């Protein structure tokens, strides 16, 4: 690999950072965001919620454990969150040209080349992250061989780009879960399958009919939730019924919009594995994995809903639930991958509601346990 090919990162405020190219050698544009995660780049880079974005890794050394083997199990890659690298570009301080790991099959650079994604290393990511924190998420472009215009991914329906086009079925468990794919991570499917389910995965704009399903999950995904008008309409229909509904990340925002609340764009978003949240009305705190640029406006929740979790760093809404019906959602990622698994118990709470709904218990509308 030639390590002397120059590359330049240009922000839309005119700031430039000069470094070197790795990965695919062509120019690209997107929204510049940062993650403070210290590991898990194979999972993060394949998370569909990063569609259209340049990811700054604040950890100074990236690439030292390479990239896992691509092994497909039941139609899904075992070690990745989707079938491809979803980011538009990777921005790091120091690239490790040597890698070592029992499961490594290739270098990070070779993997990015395969997926046509450029990277830039040798820049001051600390200074760059401070700019993003102070000014907010910005547009940027990595220039390697020719100049290109800036591109704002938030003006596009990114969910339509990452959602599957044809429905799929996974597993043969007792409980039938409808998964509305807004850019779902594979580990959401894995977490459901571990809990005696059959998962029916449908596109984001699929006309949802809850008949025949025991529960519905709205997945994570990229971009502005207000772009997902068809998904919001589906959620509205479900919230008029009694089938248990669970939302994760973008799915939480979609459920809030369907309930009549509002969402807004965060200054620079939450992207890390160390976001602390507290369960409202308790002293129970959890360290969570997060990746989102929009949030629910807590004050806009209708009276039939209540905030469930709050971010301890900036007090933003991290979860909502209905006061009487089996509907709840969280802004963080209980499926993790990468990150802590402290909140995977939420899948158990969802499945408890599903079982009660299926069994026809009189208390099948109670809130998840607090």
Cis peptide before 365 (omega within 30 of 0): no
Q: List all residues 6 or more positions away from 76 whose beta carbon is below 8 Å from its beta carbon.
A: 83, 170, 186, 189
Q: What is the C-alpha to C-alpha distance for residues 244 and 100, in angstroms, rounded to an integer?
A: 44
Closest among 183, 278, 254, 242 to 364, alpha carbons compared? 242
205-220: burial string, b at 16+ Cβ within 10 Å, e else: bbebebeebbbbbbbb
What token pair was written down for 150? 């800036």
Positions marked catalytic: 249, 333, 335
Q: What is the C-alpha to C-alpha distance for residues 105 and 69, in angstroms, rounded to an integer?
A: 5
33-66: burial string, b at 16+ Cβ within 10 Å, e else: bbbebeebbbbbbbbbbbbbbbbbbbbeebbbbb
Run of H or E residues at 330: strand 327-330
Q: Give the chain's radius of gyration (CA, Å).
A: 20
Apex 132 CA angle, 128 and 133, nearest 5: 115
Which phi and psi angles does 108 have, rounded to 5°? Answer: -60, -40
Q: What is the C-alpha to C-alpha distance for residues 250 and 183, in angstroms, rounded to an integer?
A: 9
Q: What is the C-alpha to C-alpha distance for residues 278 and 259, in angstroms, rounded to an integer?
A: 23
Contact 277, 318 (CB under 8 A): yes
């Amino acid at each position: 690999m030639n390590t002397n090919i120059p590359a330049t990162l240009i922000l839309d405020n005119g700031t430039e950072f000069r470094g070197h190219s790795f990965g695919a050698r062509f120019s690209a544009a997107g929204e510049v965001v940062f993650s403070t995660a210290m590991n898990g780049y194979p999972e993060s880079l394949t998370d569909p919620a990063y569609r259209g974005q340049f990811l700054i890794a604040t950890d100074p050394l990236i690439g030292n454990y390479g990239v896992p083997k691509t092994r497909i199990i039941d139609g899904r890659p075992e070690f990745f969150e989707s079938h491809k690298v979803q980011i538009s570009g990777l921005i790091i301080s120091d690239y490790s040209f040597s890698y070592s790991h029992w499961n490594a099959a290739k270098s990070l650079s070779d993997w990015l080349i395969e997926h046509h994604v450029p990277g830039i290393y040798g820049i001051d990511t600390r200074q760059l992250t401070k700019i993003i924190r102070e000014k907010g998420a910005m547009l940027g472009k990595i220039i390697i061989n020719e100049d290109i215009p800036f591109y704002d991914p938030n003006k596009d329906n990114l969910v339509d780009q990452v959602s599957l086009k044809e429905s799929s079925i996974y597993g043969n468990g007792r409980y039938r879960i409808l998964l509305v794919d807004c850019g779902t991570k594979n580990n959401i499917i894995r977490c459901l399958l571990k809990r005696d389910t059959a998962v029916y995965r449908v596109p984001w704009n699929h006309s949802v009919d809850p008949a025949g399903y025991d529960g519905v999950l709205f997945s994570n995904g990229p971009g502005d939730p207000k772009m997902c008008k068809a998904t919001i309409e589906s959620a509205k229909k479900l919230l008029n019924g009694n089938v248990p509904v669970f939302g994760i990340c973008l799915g939480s925002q979609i459920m809030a919009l369907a309930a009549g609340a509002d969402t807004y764009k965060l200054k620079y978003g939450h992207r890390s594995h160390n976001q602390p949240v507290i369960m409202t009305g308790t002293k129970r705190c959890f360290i969570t994995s997060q990746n989102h640029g929009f949030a629910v406006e807590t004050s806009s929740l209708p009276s039939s809903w209540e905030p469930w979790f709050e971010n301890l760093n900036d007090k933003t809404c991290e979860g909502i639930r209905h006061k009487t019906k089996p509907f709840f959602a969280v802004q963080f990622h209980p499926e993790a991958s990468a990150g802590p698994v402290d909140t995977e118990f939420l899948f158990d709470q969802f499945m408890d509601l599903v079982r009660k709904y299926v069994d026809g218990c009189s208390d099948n509308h109670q809130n998840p346990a607090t």
